Amino acid sequence: MVNSTKTYKAIKYILFVGCYLFWVSSAILIAVGVYAKVAKEGDVVDSLTADPALLFICIGSLMFTVTFFGCFGALRDNVRLLQIFVGILVAILLLQISAAVLGFIFSDLVLERTDLLIKTGIEKYRDDLDLENIIDFVQKKFQCCGGHSYGDWSYNVYFNCSKTNPSIERCGVPFSCCIQQKKKSVLNTMCGYGTQQEVRAGQSIYTTGCLDKIAKWGEQNLLLLAGMAAGFLSLEICMVSLAAALIHQIKLKMTKGNGKTTS
């Protein structure tokens, strides 16, 4: 009886603490997303895939809702809330596994959609500060430029090479495409101007597209990515198992209580 009570309390508080940590994290994620969205002061990007702030809000809201059921279900010994928590987590788990399998089977379609996503990001580059910072970070990190090549920046109205384009950035690329000289401490933000027309563009900017660089990085770090995915799935399975065990313990406790009352 004592061991059973200790097991019940251990499962209950481990699940509660785990859900509570994710619950607080999701609230912070929502707050960051809302702050970023409000700070933009009416930017025109409203697509979920092209607006990091909206993505933060949606992911944070989903996490907040799911962990709310787990957190308060564990705290109040509420079987119904715990069952909802388990049901949602299992559904998410199955969706993740299905998405991974479908992504592997239809890899060409995934690459096509990724290419479209990058092209949309290039088109909206100057319309959203968060999106601009993310693209700059990726291009600096992977030392790449554009989707397939630096010429993709012609999709953006500011960098387009058409003769009717009045922008001073015409036929250029963002500074994040530039090959930074180690000896220079001052960043030249105009280093990419006119580089789409240069014959020797490779001497001043990165010419390889980010799709190829990211795909190559993924191949080189396949074990790391697989380990991270397995770890995340294991965490979800662990939470489902704890919640299911707690439901069993609560029902067992209720059954014993009814048995004592009846006797």
Going residue by residue through the chain (263 aa), what tens digit of pLDDT does each one get?
Answer: 556 788 888 999 999 999 999 999 999 999 988 887 777 655 545 555 557 778 888 899 999 999 999 999 998 999 999 999 999 999 999 998 898 888 888 878 877 888 888 888 899 898 878 788 889 999 999 999 998 889 899 999 999 988 888 889 899 999 999 988 776 666 777 888 888 887 667 788 898 999 889 888 888 888 888 898 889 889 999 999 999 999 998 988 888 766 554 33
Domain-embedded: residue 103: no
Q: Do 242 and 163 fall into the same domain?
A: no
Q: For residue 139, what pLDDT is reported?
A: 92
* Phi/psi-derived region of residue 162, left when phi > 0, alpha when psi is between -120 and 50, beta in every other case: beta
Q: Do 66 and 152 fall into the same domain?
A: no
Q: Do 207 and 255 fall into the same domain?
A: no
Domain-embedded: residue 88: no
pTM over 0.85, yes/no: no
Q: In whole angstroms, what is the distance from residue 51 CA to residue 45 CA?
A: 6
Instruction: Give how many domains the chain has, as a whole number.
Output: 2
Domain that holds residue 194: 110-216
Look-up of token digits 């059921």: 69
Q: For residue 261, what pLDDT is reported?
A: 41
Q: Do 146 and 206 fall into the same domain?
A: yes
Q: Do 64 and 156 fall into the same domain?
A: no
Q: What is the CATH number of the domain that holds 211?
A: 1.10.1450.10
Q: Do 207 and 121 fall into the same domain?
A: yes
Q: For residue 3, what pLDDT is reported?
A: 67
Q: Do 9 and 65 fall into the same domain?
A: yes
Domain-embedded: residue 33: yes
Q: Do 207 and 248 fall into the same domain?
A: no
Would you say 71 and 19 are in contact if contact means Cβ atoms under 8 Å apart? Answer: yes
Q: For residue 163, what pLDDT is reported?
A: 86
Q: What is the pLDDT of residues 40-58, one digit of tens each?
A: 655 545 555 557 778 888 8
Q: For residue 142, what pLDDT is reported?
A: 92
Contact residues for 126 (Cβ-Cβ < 8 A; gap 6+): 132, 156, 158
Domain-embedded: residue 27: yes
